[in-house]
Amino acid sequence: MRPSRPYHAVTAYHREPGGLRRLDFFMDRVQAFAGDDDPAEYKILDIGCGNGNISIPLAAMGFQVVGMDFSDAAVKAAAQAAEEAGVMATFVVGDETAVPDNSFDIIICSEVLEHQSRPEVFLQTIKKKLTPHGLVLFSLPNGQSLEERIRRLLDRNQGGRWVKKIIKRLIGISTIQSLAQDPHKQFYSYRRLIKQLKDAGFMVVFSDNASVWFKEFFYLMGRIWMRRGSRCFHVLDAWDNVMSDYWPRKTADGWLLETRLSQAQPLAVQIIPTLELGGAEIIVTQLAELLPERGFSVAVLAHVRTGQLHKILKSKHVPCTVMERRGFLGRWKSFWNMRQWLMDVRPEVVHTHLFGGDTWGRLAARLAGLKNIVTTEHNVNPDYSRTRSLVLRLMAGFSVKYAAISKMVSVYLQDRVGVPQTKIRLIYNGLDLSKIKKRSGTLLHDIPRIIYVGRLEEQKNPELLLRALSYIKQPWQLTVVGDGSLRQKLCNLAYELRLAPRVSFLGVREDVPDLLADHDLFCFPSKWEGFGLAVIEAAAAGIPVLCSDLPVLRELLDDSQVTFVPSDDIQAWSQAVRSVLIDPAPYTEKARRAAESDWQKFEQRNMAAAYAELYQEVLAEGLKSKAV
C-alpha cells in the first residue's frame, strides 16, 4: 500500500508489510471513539511505541499522546522523529507500571502482548491505567504461522539466536517499528488470544486481520531480494490488504482488535441494520441505557451502516460495533464479520430487530453456536414480498422468544410468520415520559402550525398529507420532522403544489418534545403501523392529533383522545384538517383529555423491565435444555 492519507506523511509504516493497514486501523478506531469531540481531550498511551510510527500520527491529529518503550534508543529516535515532523508528543523510557492509574482514555498495544512473559499480569496492569469507559487496541502476530514457528525455533536456545543474528547481518535487515530486539515469549492462536482477553475482563468490540501472507513472505524470503517501499513491495502489500478483508480469522498472519472493559452482568447484544433515527433504533438506544439497571449489560451491533444514534450511544458509553457494508461483496463480508464477532464475544442473549437483523443476525448467531435468541417484531409488514415472508417463516424456529410491540403484531406473528402464541410476549414500546413537554393553551397560533414526525417513506404516507393540505385555503404552516428516501420527492411535490413557502423540512431532530409543544396539530397519515410511537408522544404532549384509522392505533388510543381519519383518503384528511382550523375547540378538548390520561404502560422503564424479565426467562430455559 502506498501512503494516501495525510497522517501517512509522518510515519515510516508504509515501508512495513501490513504497516499502513495496521496504522489505519488504529487511527480509524481512535477517531471513531473520539467522534466530534476535541482530540485534545483524549489521552493516549502507546505501550511499546518503538520509533513512534503510531504515536506521531496520533499526535499530528491533535491527541495527547504518551509513547512508552523500554528501549532508550527507540525513545530517542521517536522523539527526534516527532520533532522533525513538528508534532507534540511525549516519549518516555519505562513500562506501563510507571504511569498513574485511571489516567488514559485509550491504550495502544501494538506488537506488545507476545513479548510478555506474564501476559495476564500485563493485562490487569493496563486495565488499571484505563479510564472506566476507555478503549484498548491490540495488534499481534498469529503464533501458529510459519514465521512465528521459525522464530520460536531460533529463539529457543543460544545457538538459534546466533544463527538469527548472522542472517540479519548477511542480508542487512533494517528496522521500521523498533530498535529493540526482544524475543517473542507468547505464540497465540486466535482462540487462546480471545479467551485470555475475556478472562482478563476485556470485551472484543471489533476485530480484523492484520495481514494474510505478505508480512510472513517478506520476512522469510522477500527481504532477501525485495527493497522496502519498492513498487513490487507496494503492489504485493496492497494485494495482501484486499485479501485480509475476506480471509478467515484463525489462519491470518496477525490480528487487530478493539476492546473495552467488560461488565460482570450477562451481555445482551442488540443486532440492527443501521443506527439511523427510527422507531426500532430508538428502542435499541433505550434498552442500551436502561437494561444495565436491570442486570444486563448491552452492546449494539449495526451490520449495514452507522447513523445519528451512534453519537447518542457513545455518549452513554455503550459499546457499539458497526460492520459497514461496502462494495460488491459487502453483504457477505458484513455477515461473516458479524458471525466472527459473535463467536469472539459470546453474549448470553442475542436480540435482533428489523428484517436485516432478524435474518442475517439470527443466522450469524446460530452459526456462531448461540441459541439464546430473542426477536422483536416491530411491524405487520404488508409490503413484504412472498420471498421475505417465506424467509421469516422458515427462520421462525431460530428464536427462543418473540416480543410483539402490539396485539396486532402478535396476531401477525402467529398468522403470517407461524410463531406459536406460547413463544410471543407482548411488550409495548416505551417513551421517556419525563421529557414530554405539555402544550399550553387551547388557542391556535395566528397562522396554525401543523407538524408531521416520522420517516419519509412510503409506509408513513407523507405525500398524502401534502396533497390534502393543498386543498385548504386557510393559512397554515407545516413542519416536517424526519428523513428518508422520499425527501427529495416531497420537496419537489411541495413546489409543484405551490406549497413550498409554507412547508419546512427540518430533517432528523432531537428536540421533538419542544417542537410538539410549539405546534397546534399533529398529523400521522400512515398506511400501516406496528405501534405508532410518535402518535403516543404527541397525544401525551396534549397536542390535537389526527391519525390514520388503523387497528393498532385503536388498540392504543380511543376517540376521546385523538381523531381517526380514513387512511389513503385525501379528501377526508383535507376535511379533517380544515375542521380543526375552523373550530379547534373539540379537538383541543380531546388533546386535554389525552394529556391527562395515564401513560405509564408506555413508560420506557416498564418496557426495559419487561425485556429484562424476558431475557431471564430465555436464560432459564437455556439452562434447563443444557441440563437435559
Give pLDDT, residue 614: 98
Strand order through the sheet with 254-261? 90-93, 64-69, 43-47, 104-110, 130-141, 254-261, 202-211
Alpha-carbon gap, residue 236 to 2, rounded angstroms: 11
90 and 119 fall within a common domain: yes
* pLDDT score for 179: 45
Query: Counting Cβ atoms within 10 Å, is residue 483 exposed (0-12), middle (13-18) or buried (19+)?
Result: buried
Indicate whether 77 belongs to any domain: yes
Same domain, 245 and 273: no
Count CB neighbours of 626 within 10 A.
8
518 and 480 in a single domain? The answer is: yes
pLDDT at 175: 52
Residues 139 and 36 both lie in one domain: yes
Domain count, the chain: 3
Q: Which three cell numbers stand for residue 345?
A: 464475544
* CA dihedral angle for residue 424, residue 425, residue 426, residue 430, rounded to 10 degrees: -130
Domain end among 243, 260, 277: 260
In sequence order, which residues have a C-beta less than 8 Å from that of residue 103 and are 6 or more positions away? Answer: 43, 129, 131
Nearest 10 degrees: Cα torsion 300, 303, 306, 311: 10
Residue 596 to residues 440, 442, 450, 592, 600, Cα–Cα distance (Å): 13, 14, 22, 6, 12
Same domain for 156 and 184, yes or no, is yes
Say whether both 330 and 408 belong to one domain.
yes
Please answer whether residues 70 and 180 qualify as being in contact, where contact means their C-beta atoms are separated by less than 8 angstroms. yes
Specify whether 139 is located in the same domain as 268: no
Residue 482 in any domain: the answer is yes
How far apart are alpha carbons 534 and 513 in whole angstroms? Answer: 10
Same domain? 289 vs 173: no
Residue pair 427/402 in contact by the 8 Å Cβ criterion: no
CATH number assigned to the domain comprising residue 175 = 3.40.50.150
Give the C-alpha separation, 29 to 24, whole Å.
8
The residue ranges of DSSP E strands in 83-196, in sequence order, are: 90-93, 104-110, 130-141
Using CA atoms, how far residue 602 sits from 277, 291, 314, 557, in Å, is 19, 16, 25, 12
Picking from 212, 227, 260, the residue at the C-terminal end of a domain is 260
Last residue within a domain, chosen from 229, 260, 291: 260
Q: Point out the residues of the chain with pLDDT beneath 70.
A: 150-182, 222-223, 626-628
Same domain, 559 and 618: no
User: Distance (Å, rounded) from C-alpha 241 to C-alpha 251?
Assistant: 15
Cβ contact 215:18 at 8 Å: yes
pLDDT at res. 165? 62
Helices and strands (H, E) in the chain, number of each type? 25, 20
The pLDDT of residue 86: 93
**Cα dihedral value 12, 15, 19, 23, nearest 10:** 30
Give the separation between CA 108 and CA 139, rounded to whole angstroms: 9
Phi/psi at 184 (5° precision): -75, 135
Task: Give the per-residue pLDDT at 79.
Answer: 95
Mean pLDDT of the chain: 91
DSSP 544-576: -EEEE--HHHHHH--TTTSEEE-TT-HHHHHHH
Kindly report the CA angle at 318 between 142 and 600, in degrees rounded to 5? 150
Contact 393, 418 (CB under 8 A): yes
Chain segment 402-441, per-residue pLDDT in tens: 999 999 999 999 999 999 999 999 999 999 999 999 998 7
107 SS3 class: strand
Helix 119-129 crosses helix 190-199 at what angle (to 10 degrees)?
50
Domain boundaries, position 300: 263-430+606-627
CA distances from 238 to 48, 207, 234, 324, 332 (A): 26, 20, 6, 20, 21
pLDDT of amino acid 215: 83
Under a CB-based contact definition with an 8 Å cutoff, are residues 49 and 69 in contact?
A: yes
- Domain holding 564: CATH number? 3.40.50.2000
Q: Both 316 and 256 in a single domain?
A: no
Are 348 and 400 within one domain? Answer: yes
Phi, psi (rounded to 5 degrees) for 130: -90, 145
106 phi-psi bin (left φ>0, alpha ψ -120 to 50, beta other): beta
Whether residues 485 and 473 share a domain: the answer is yes
Specify if 407 maps to a domain: yes
In a domain, 353, yes or no: yes
Q: Is residue 90 part of a domain?
A: yes
**276 lies in some domain:** yes
Task: Find out whether 175 and 228 touch, Cβ atoms under 8 Å.
Answer: no
pLDDT digits (tens, 9 = 90+) for 481-533: 999 999 999 999 999 999 999 999 999 898 999 999 999 999 999 999 999 99
Is 499 a member of any domain?
yes
Residue 70 lies in a domain: yes
